[in-house]
Structure 1
């Protein structure tokens, strides 16, 4: 059952109100889009493929009538050649499977749009695809958002993120509508990855995986606008999804990657990346001061509930004076996995971690707060498997409040220079919209309460900023520096820790602390001005991650493709 207090974007009444205000296309908007389409210098042919093994003539005619409302006129339908229909817009193809039908459709057009028979496109859908291509002509895949339409009632909006090569392994988050370049389909040969009996949405998943593997992330675009409605549940098989993803990974020569059902919902995939051989050494860095209760629980959990074969624990004692805390820290020195560093200078979280890194002996660094409790023995194995995987720069975890509601599931950048934790206060076992809380996915940043990073990357970006970000925003800034190297920041739900947030240093509740927090916020944004220019790719501009809920953005934020760095902003939706 969806908690609509947290996920207001799943509240049907709130969605109906938002549609009425922001998502109903007006006559003047249709006229404007039509003028823009007519002014294009070239014509792109789109082959629309109804995904049905045995569609009747009546179903095809109904499907065609749906498309006749499109503002963009240069489309035709490719269908299985088992029906005699005399219509120039209907192109029969002889194919042994739907995957082969898609491949044949690619021979008849510039782009292919596969759709389930129940799909309904609003009039502006194809026009938006073509207008996007006029701005970024080398795109191989363009996809948009979708929802459910039953009768006249729209519900269950799927507000997607920009391209995420990790999330696509867990689920087909791209869904419909997705437009594929015909040449990219021909290169990909999707029929090799999907069996003839493949369910419709599994076929789309296979197609996206194959085409994306022969393309690049810069050529995969997301239009943040609802451009398709579905009247039926997706045809999806979890077993087929795991077979497709396993076969896809094997075809890329990526070694042994285990694909199994996701714990929170078996229709999705949990992908477990292998550790390098030999397993990399790990340095876990825990700054602390006083608070015997916190450091005792944290370190005891690390030492007794970690099954990873090779790690050291570096406790950075920042001027502890409390006798009980000093005694506990001293007792930990008896374990040969533990080293204690002493630094009596004023609290500077960045400097404490940087100091520890200069003494670290390991390949992987884990920054860990002293107010974190370990819940599962395999936490470090999962974290290191991600942090050591090629292309991944930083790995973060699922952090829970003591009442087991979610405290951290990734960090997002919103409007007005806000930094928010995604889906905060959702329940521990809530899979989230589209599996956002159940699957490994890319984010723009993660919190330093628990993150893993390769030592070489940490040093390359200069570590944490101890001059301008002494207490706050240093972890977020670290993630942004790593992202600028072209590496992914990832969040995993498969490492769960309890985080007593900011207990050890306190919230910014005094005027002095509030002033410091404000100064460091200004410093962060001055060093990350690109976040003003381009939207967070993992924060759909139609939603707003607030402190206590995920709500509709009112109004949706302007969208700009990152490819258009030096060009005018192109608003890819209607508002």
Structure 2
């Protein structure tokens, strides 16, 4: 009995100790939570991190650095092995004093200290501006000021600033914008990981006149074809000074698009281009600024057009540059040789659907050198057989039909078709499509002829004129999704992405063109993938082989796929779909989890470019 009493006393005391320990853990947890909450509050107490956009405010709360983070960065500088000097180039001209001071202060307050600010005033002839600049120069020996005697506009002023630069890298800063306080630190952290980087750019947003932040632009990694349609890298850009000197800086005569022309020329000398998916630059938006509206500086659009034309000439890829809304452009390359195009259409039954497709091809297509190859996968419907016979009799030199009566396997059917095709270009097309754009093949061949391009995809529309496909992005919530699905046909999309040419990880084979040599280079479609993701897998193989995939908005095609159609409507189909999902994630996880053409700050589950909050 005594032993039982002692044991009870021991257990009671042990229970008290455990309870006390749990109370201390709870207390520590509460204090830790309070600390975290405090720093979260601190994140948005500063005026730099306010937004009237509720969703962006939520993102800022989650992602922008706290004062604790900024202080830690300053302490971490000594731990960096590589500490290059970054020369910030800033031309000024009649800058409002308040904006000018805010811009310079955003540099002085950087958490990374090894910088120099090279300011060239373009003959403002303003005593207050001169006094302000000289005051900053005297207060900090990292600030250098030059006063030009003649106004030469932004290109000449930028070049004047460049003459003062001594750093290993050059960063571009407009005279009324703001650098995020961690901007240079993040650049140098990347340089410590990639010391061979020649160009680095970041995400950006806009700063309104009241100091609030808006319109965050979360960019893709390096996408050279996207750049030929829109100057998406822009702010914040940092460049190796030796390359800047090699291209002789900025070219006078391209004012308004001088940085666009600058980047087009510099990126022809290097592929060591890196993107930091963080907002490191706040672009000033006020009345009359380009940030507010490109229309305020129409000369910038004209200069951009000339810069792109020059780039095409230098690269021996001649073409026409067409301006579109928003100050962007579409490049229509000259077709060097109008090679034969084989349009491959797998089909089974659905005679009226096939008839609509074939009728639109033969009635609207303006490209002459093409053939249509139908692969009939076991049609029994009389209407379908009659439609095939009708078009065979009407276009015996343009249309052929092969029978392949096997269980449906999209990859195997299309590989079989390729083996019976004659074209230099392969155009895979669904039978439930209808051509809208007469020069659709020309527009696809223009891109597919380029040695750097793998797959070319187009804008696919539902019958109600909403978007079914405008490029394929990788989604961690699944495997892939269609960019801007259900947006209206003429919507601009995310920073005009719907209406501009852009690189994507993949495009859909509901309408996809590639060179035959390119297709053979990656051994065609993977026949283990019977139904889903065979086109995505093909595009990933193109990426793996060093090609780029591209979406062209100026080709529009109706795709009569029901918005509510359920493909996986029985256990067997669901099991097959699950196995194909597993294959894709197992084989291509490095692309799916890190899509170079989709920013991690955007939703991993939605197709509408909403924020990842």
| Same fold per superposition (TM over 0.5) | yes
Question: Which of 521, 525, 531 is 2:581 aligned to?
Answer: 521
Matched residue, 1:45: 85
Matched residue, 2:154: 98
Cα displacement (A) at 1:206: 1.5
Larger Rg: 2
Matched residue, 1:142: 200
SS of the counterpart of 2:379?
A: coil
1:490 is the counterpart of 2:550: yes
What are the equivalent positions in structure 2 for 1:353-432 lying under 5 Å apart? 353-432=414-493
Distance in 2, Cα, partners of 1:512 & 1:11? 50
Question: Which of 392, 397, 400 is 1:333 aligned to?
Answer: 392
Cα displacement (A) at 1:400: 0.8
Q: Is the contact between residue 235 and residue 281 of structure 2 (CA under 8 Å) also seen in structure 1? A: yes
1:117 is the counterpart of 2:179: no
Matched residue, 1:563: none
Cα displacement (A) at 1:341: 0.5
Distance in 2, Cα, partners of 1:375 & 1:80? 52
SS of the counterpart of 1:320?
A: coil
Query: Aligned-pair RMSD on alpha carbons?
Result: 2.3
Distance in 1, Cα, partners of 2:65 & 2:321? 42
Cα displacement (A) at 1:230: 1.9
Distance in 2, Cα, partners of 1:513 & 1:395? 29
Matched residue, 2:320: 258
Distance in 2, Cα, partners of 1:376 & 1:274? 18
Matched residue, 2:44: none
Question: Which of 448, 455, 461 is 2:516 aligned to?
Answer: 455
What are the equivalent positions in structure 2 for 1:79-98 lying under 5 Å apart? 79-80=119-120, 83=130, 85=134, 86-87=137-138, 88-93=141-146, 96-98=152-154
Cα displacement (A) at 1:504: 14
Question: Which of 181, 195, 209 is 2:264 aligned to?
Answer: 209
Cα displacement (A) at 1:496: 0.7
**Superimposed CA distance per residue, residues 441-493 of structure 1 (whole angstroms, 9 cap, x where no aligned partner):** 11001111000011111122111111x10111111111111111100010111
Matched residue, 1:230: 283
Distance in 2, Cα, partners of 1:241 & 1:474? 38
Cα displacement (A) at 1:187: 1.1
Distance 1:338 1:167, change over 3 A: same
Distance 1:145 1:60, change over 3 A: same
Distance in 1, Cα, partners of 2:375 & 2:216? 47
Cα displacement (A) at 1:417: 4.3
Distance in 2, Cα, partners of 1:158 & 1:459? 38
Higher helix share goes to which structure?
Answer: 2
Distance in 2, Cα, partners of 1:390 & 1:224? 29
Count matched residues: 532
Question: Which of 65, 70, 76 is 1:30 aligned to?
Answer: 70
Cα displacement (A) at 1:26: 1.5
Question: Which of 396, 408, 417 is 1:347 aligned to?
Answer: 408
**Superimposed CA distance per residue, residues 339-390 of structure 1 (whole angstroms, 9 cap, x where no aligned partner):** 0001111111111111110111110000000001100111111011111112
Distance in 2, Cα, partners of 1:417 & 1:325? 35
1:246 is the counterpart of 2:309: yes
Distance in 2, Cα, partners of 1:548 & 1:387? 26
Matched residue, 2:570: 510
Cα displacement (A) at 1:527: 2.5
TM-score, length of structure 2 as denominator length: 0.83
SS of the counterpart of 1:166?
A: helix
Cα displacement (A) at 1:59: 5.8
Cα displacement (A) at 1:66: 2.4
Matched residue, 1:7: none
Distance 1:505 1:462, change over 3 A: farther
Distance in 2, Cα, partners of 1:14 & 1:505? 32
Distance 1:449 1:70, change over 3 A: same
Matched residue, 1:567: none
TM-score, length of structure 1 as denominator length: 0.88
Distance 1:538 1:69, change over 3 A: same
Cα displacement (A) at 1:241: 1.1
Distance in 2, Cα, partners of 1:300 & 1:131? 58
Structure 2 residues without counterparts, runs of 5 or longer = 1-50, 124-129
Distance in 1, Cα, partners of 2:178 & 2:515? 47
Distance in 2, Cα, partners of 1:517 & 1:41? 48
Distance in 1, Cα, partners of 2:64 & 2:200? 22
Distance in 1, Cα, partners of 2:98 & 2:207? 21
Distance in 2, Cα, partners of 1:443 & 1:129? 25
Greater RCO, CA 8 A, separation 6+: 1
Distance in 2, Cα, partners of 1:529 & 1:212? 29
SS of the counterpart of 2:540?
A: helix
Question: Which of 259, 282, 307 is 2:341 aligned to?
Answer: 282
Distance 1:361 1:329, change over 3 A: same
Cα displacement (A) at 1:148: 1.3
Q: Is the contact between residue 394 and residue 453 of structure 1 (CA under 8 Å) also seen in structure 2? A: yes
Cα displacement (A) at 1:418: 3.1
Question: Which of 55, 58, 75 is 2:115 aligned to?
Answer: 75
Distance in 2, Cα, partners of 1:386 & 1:504? 33
1:15 is the counterpart of 2:66: no
Distance in 1, Cα, partners of 2:175 & 2:563? 54
Cα displacement (A) at 1:56: 7.3
Distance in 2, Cα, partners of 1:135 & 1:314? 50
Q: Is the contact between residue 378 and residue 405 of structure 2 (CA under 8 Å) also seen in structure 1? A: yes
SS of the counterpart of 2:339?
A: coil
Question: Which of 281, 292, 298 is 2:357 aligned to?
Answer: 298
What are the equivalent positions in structure 2 for 1:137-216 lying under 5 Å apart? 137-150=195-208, 151-192=210-251, 194-195=252-253, 198-199=255-256, 202-216=257-271
Distance 1:506 1:364, change over 3 A: farther
